[in-house]
Chains A and B, each alone.
Chain A
Amino acid sequence: MKQPPTHAPSRIASTADLRSFQRMMATAIVRPLTAEDALQPRWIDGRPMDKVAAEFIKPNDRLTSFERLQLYNRLYWFRILDAIRDDCPGLLAALGERSFSRLAQAYLERRPSRSFTLRDLCSRLERFIVDNPRLTAPRTALAAEIARFEWAQTVAFDGESRPVVEAARVGRTPPSRLRLGLQPYITLLALRYPIDTYVIAVKRRDALRSEASNTPGAAAVHRVLRSVARPRPRRTFVAVHRHHNRLYYKRLDPAAFRILEALAGGRTLSRAIAAGGPGVGPAQVKAWFTSWMALGWFCRHGNKRRRDAS
């Protein structure tokens, strides 16, 4: 968002005035709340916020201009913080409440939403974590991987699906010329931690918590369910995908991952198989492709798709 005007326009007689007014109010709304969940006491130029608010917002008999603006400021932050918590249960569990809140606030402050839908809120979170390691230290690597994994789930949930390539076409094209695309909703992840099992454990715990919240002795159950152990490093290869519109995390053999990554990168089938490495036999490759074809993973190559592998 561009710099707001020094003062809100006293008259709105043009689209330019309207834009200035909207920059002023939007800047006020997206500024972080204080520790007491209040509107910041000073404007960006240091003037008292109550005076700035009074310049463009009318008070009424119950609320000052400051308090009316504060309502919108609070609603904004409560809404987007709720949204990011909903989308990132794994990251929340791994970082803990305080560290996650600090990260979420910093991220949303420096990377405010550029999309009409809250669905895209976490699309830049992994990059932000990597670029700002102090916010998640000493767990930056883990946090970045979880953020990448949780965004991959969003993509798998409602990402584009393209017509599945026909087996006949695969059969009649020489492997040295055949290129296959991966469905855009699939994300290939080469991870340093087994994030898939961790996220499953967190979701299971959260579901149990939700059920327990309605039962007598819920507090005791919550204590038992408090934490899921953070994962220890273990090289893990996963495809986050969907099948019959249900979300799945499919573990991949490292060689299978390399083959899929090569295909997604535009290599021909024969080159992709070669990328799998010398230890992979034809029977194994055939079994993998049979499974991937059955899952409908391949589409025509040639259109851009998001690759996500480290």
Chain B
Amino acid sequence: MPANRFNGHSDYGIGIGLRVPHYGHILSKKPVVDWFEIISENFMVEGGRPLELLDRILEQYRVVQHGVSMYFGSADKPDRRHLKRLKALVKRTKTPWLSDHLCWGSVDGTYTHDLLPMPYTFAAARRTAEKIRHIRDYLEVPICVENVSSYAEFHASEMTEWEFLTEVVELADCGILLDVNNIYVSSKNHGFNPYDYVNNVPHHRVGQMHIAGHTKFEKYILDTHDHPVLDPVWKLYAHATRLCGITATLLEWDDKIPSFDEVHGEALKANEFIDGAKKAAV
């Protein structure tokens, strides 16, 4: 199910995040890349170099918007000015779908600039789904919500994270950006089986996947996006691909960013697992 209504019936392959250290290489060498994911907030500006650069990228490449500050799970109402800016960017990029995180990060208009985990309750799921519907209706573009990595769980939770994700996306009738690295990180931090997570989300709603590297500490794992993808994450990705079908996949590498070729090469390793999934399906 590579193309579905949650990713705008697109058929995107393997992409990488558009990051500043690679701008020069991309613009001068024009490497073949299936698509780039941009961080929406980096381009929700009124002018100058960011938008000039984006327009040059859009001349040659397919771009998908990924946000980090919509905070679907915040109790606050969506910020109208934010939505207006985001919609202007959606029109500019013609992104076939838009993603942001299943999390919260602001309250009473104060921002933490973090992707904070939700309490997994039915009331929180209803509120979150209502906001996703509202935002999607305003933006007029399909939305995929991404599971975050987390370092805390709450007494108030009434279900597992994957049950909460399922509840939200069913109520909102939206897609999932399945971040298999985040699932792996959270599974280690909270002691659940990551395969239970992947097995139990609605696979037909997965419109995109994320892969990334992380960092192990003595007592926890941090989602640092500063390493190649680790083997257990690749295995989880292969499993998810068998269940969900071959899905638009993006490698996130946000810190200690190596050369463009190294990042792209790491992303293209996903092909091995996609081929494996194809063979398994025959």
Contact = CB atoms under 8 A, between A and B. Distances in A.
Interface of A: 1-2, 8-19, 21-23, 25-26, 29-30, 55-58, 60-63, 67-69, 71-72, 75-76, 79-80, 83, 112-119, 156-161, 184-185, 242, 245-246
B59 interface: no
B259 to A, nearest CB: 15
B220 to A, nearest CB: 7
B155 A55 contact: yes
Nearest to B119: A12
B189 A160 contact: no
A309 B36 CA distance: 41
A56 B154 contact: yes
A119 B39 CA distance: 13
B159 to A, nearest CB: 12
11 contacts: A13-B121, A13-B123, A18-B119, A22-B75, A26-B106, A61-B191, A68-B151, A71-B220, A76-B113, A116-B111, A119-B45
A58 B155 contact: yes
Interface string B48-69: 1111100000000000000001
Given A13-B123, A15-B75, A19-B75, A71 B151 contact: yes
Given A62-B220, A63-B220, A158-B48, A12 B123 contact: yes
A114 B107 CA distance: 10
Contact of A158 (B50, B82, B108, B151): B50
B109 interface: yes
Contacts of B45: 119, 158-159
Interface residues of B, number: 44
A185 B48 contact: yes
B126 to A, nearest CB: 8
Most buried by A among B46, B152, B154: B152
B112 A21 contact: no
A116 B153 contact: no
Given A115-B111, A117-B41, A10 B49 contact: no
A12 B69 CA distance: 23
A308 B48 CA distance: 20
Interface of B: 41, 44-52, 69, 74-76, 79, 82, 104, 106-114, 116, 119, 121-124, 127, 151-156, 189-191, 219-220
Given A13-B123, A21-B156, 7 more contacts: A15-B75, A15-B123, A18-B121, A56-B156, A67-B219, A113-B113, A245-B49
A58 B154 contact: yes
A159 B124 contact: no
Given A12-B156, A57-B154, A60-B189, A21 B79 contact: no
A56 B157 CA distance: 10
A69 B127 CA distance: 24
A25 B49 contact: no
Nearest to A58: B153
A278 B121 CA distance: 72
Most buried by B among A12, A117, A242, A245: A12
A101 B57 CA distance: 38
B150 to A, nearest CB: 9
Contacts of B69: 116-117
A157 B52 CA distance: 11
Contacts of A75: 114
Contacts of A23: 107-108
Given A58-B154, A72-B151, A26 B112 contact: yes
Contacts of A76: 112-114
A184 B45 CA distance: 13
A242 B114 contact: no
Contact of B114 (A1, A72, A245): A72
Given A29-B112, A76-B113, A116-B82, A62 B219 contact: yes
A160 B127 CA distance: 35
Nearest to B77: A15
B78 to A, nearest CB: 11
